[in-house]
Each structure stands twice: as structure tokens, then as C-alpha cells.
Structure 1
């Protein structure tokens, strides 16, 4: 077998996913980039190198509108990451999507404002750059997620539109109705500009959405309860980890058989 240096798999997660207990030899380091610093936990999973970032930092101290998305993506790219699996905890806009379900996203709507959303500010040597977002969620990496879920019998919805709001407040019923009219499936606060920056950086990016509640005005008129969200998150997080575990395990078997990892 040819000896090769495997590119780390990048994993970015937020609420409820503050560490990856599956990582062996885990250690956290501060990575400096041109856009600031970010903490990255590095280790191995089924023998595969992994670089994990908790968006909100240790102790969930950084609100979604203040996350340094550029530093996170730049740090992962600088560490040699080529593929990124993101995890988003969301509210269901589509009334057919129930709390506890997983969605493998395939498009997004950006309802944020004022975020630093590009590496291309027009002052670099490349000048003005317009990046195509037709397949922002990489089809091949999405296929790996769907195959992994199928292999372990974990239901997951194939395709969904992530609608990103600024937060940290929850959305109003009127905002959710607008998002629904635009074709939104789930609502969150962190998926953009993370996905667009990953594409700009040349990374393959895919995301698993864990739905933890109906969004405001969907179904019951009851206020969103953090206790209810936490309960669904507690029961749903292991589903997400199981899918990623199978994906990483499949990659490790592929590597052992072929002598190289996925591109």
C-alpha cells in the first residue's frame, strides 16, 4: 500500500455539539489567520485526521451574528482541509418536517445583514470575484452523507433549503411565512456565510440539519420553549454523530482498500 498523507476532514458544529468524544488523541490549538484566530480541535476518528470547530466557542459564548466565519473557514483551509461536514440545529419551516428529523441540505436563502460574508472584498490582487453558488452544498459530499445514513438505517431527508436569519432572537411568525413562500425548509442562524465562504475557499461543503422545533407560527401557537429544544437536541444529537461516524468509517475502509482517501 502506498503511504499517503490524508487531508483532515473538517467538521463544524454549533449548539449542543461542543466537542467530539469520538476523537482520539484530541488536542485544541489556536489557529491564526488573516481574518483573526479560531480554536480548532484536532485528532483522529477511525484513523482519519479530523479538524473540528465549535462555532460558538467553548461554553457557547459567541452569538451567531458575531461568529468569525471567515477565520473558521480560512483556518480549516490553511490546515489542509478539503471537505467540510457542517451540523446545524434548526427550526422547521416546512410543516411536514418534524422535530427530531435530519435534513441533508441542498440550497440556502440568506436573510442576514451586515455579516462579513466574503473573502473577496475587491482590494486583493484578484480584484472583483463573483463565485458561483449553484451547487454550494457539494453533491458528492452530500451523497456520502446520504449513503452513510442509509447504511445505518437512519432516516434523513434528501434536500432542503436552509434559511439563515441573524439571530440571536428567534424569528417572528411573519418572517417564517415569508421564508416559507420563498421555499424555505428550515430556519437557522449560522449556515450563511459559512457555506459561501467554504465555496470561495475551494472546499467541498455539505451540511446536516437537525430540526429541533417547529419555527414560529408553524403548527402550535405556543412560544418556543428552550426546554423542549434541549430535549429534542439531546435525543437527536446521537443520530447526527452516528451518521458522521459511519461516513468517517466508510472513508477509513476506502483508504485502507485503495491506499488513498476521497478527493
Structure 2
């Protein structure tokens, strides 16, 4: 019995020594790492909460940023754990090389996603339905939507422009209080017989301005442009440019302008064709 007890005591001692020398160090390191991860995430949550309460960022942005930070922290912890149990530097180098390769291959996408969160944080500038202009890109219009990769802008001509988010953030941007489109019409009319040609053209120009001004179609009647494209003894072809409020003049608005001019110039037998809408 004494020999058995001695053997058991020896085995217990060996187990304790093995645990102390082999397992205790990694266990302590794992506990410390878990504590560091926990404290780091708590600090991040606290900072994001403060920013949210001060209305610097929205709750959606705060939640997304917390998830991204958590992912980065857990990924770093996983790399540290792998190195702790393998002690093979090549594993770390390989993981870093893979990570860098992924970043390089998707750098544009990562830049767009990062810019997306910046845009969400700057809610006063980048938000749907805002009227904006990017002078260096020559783009202006209404922001239709913003997703993680690009921003959709509807131009005054009704075209949809897709601009990568990182370009939107890096470009100077001008907020507009309003955008006006321009309806360009080609108008053919008969000239009054009892008035000379030059006077007839002046009469027609004034009449067009008065008609559109009384109908309150143009944003500013004085901005209406009437150009003589061609004139003969009894006929004239004019180009009429009418400024209309809004990013995208609707077809009903265009038809309304044409109808008003046709009725107002009825005695001149007008023929109207829509040239462009910009």
C-alpha cells in the first residue's frame, strides 16, 4: 500500500508539474487575452454610445461600427492564439500575407465601404433627397439612394449617375437649395401681317414672356430665353428656353408648357416641338 501511495503521489506531482510548466502559462495568457478583448469592446461600445447620444452618429452607424470593430478584435485575438499554441512565425507571416492580398484585391471596395460610413456619420450633407453639386465632376442633382458601394444621383435631365462612395467623399460638394431644369422648345409661328418683321419678333417675344409669366410656369420669367433661329417675311422659327423648378421636369409639366403656348399664340398658328430637357 505504501508503494502504491507513493506511486500515486508521484504521478500527482508529475501531473501538477506538467500543468504548471505546460498548461498554466497558456491558460493565464488566454484569460488575459479574453480580459483585454472584453475591455476593448466595452471601451468601443462606451465611445460609440457617447457619440450617438451627442447626435454625432446615428444608431445604425454605431451598430455597424461596433460590429466591424468586434470582427477586427476577434480576428486579431485568433491570430494571437494561433501563435501562442504553435510558436510558428511562418503561420503569422502567411496570415498577414493573405490579409494584405485580400486588402489589395479589394481596396476600391474597402474604400467605398469606409466612405459609406463616413457619409452616414455626416447626415447633414450626404442623405437621400438632398440636392447637391460636384463641380469638378460636372454633376448636379438629387441624391436618390446611398448604399455601401455607390451613390445614385438623378440629374436635371433625368439620368441616373452612379458614383463610387470614395469619390463622393473626396470631391468638393455643394449643397443646393434648389435646382431648375430647362425645357428647350422649337417654335414656328406666322408673323402678323400688319407689323414689320423686326417689330413682329419683338411682339412675339414679349407675348411669350407674358403668357408664361401669367401662367407662373417659369421659375423666373426674366430668365426665359427667346432666340430667333430663322425668319422670313411671313414666318419665324424661334428657340424658347423655359427654366422650370425641379431636378426632373415631368412630362406633364412639359405638356402643360406646350399647351399654354399653343393656346396663347393661337392667332399665330404655332407649331411647337420639344428639343431638349436639361
Higher helix share: 2
TM-score band by shorter chain is under 0.3
Higher strand share: 1
**Structure with more contact order per residue of length (Cα contacts < 8 Å, sep ≥ 6):** 1
Give me the TM-score of the superposition, normalised by structure 1: 0.19
Query: Rg bigger for which structure?
Result: 2
Give me the TM-score of the superposition, normalised by structure 2: 0.18
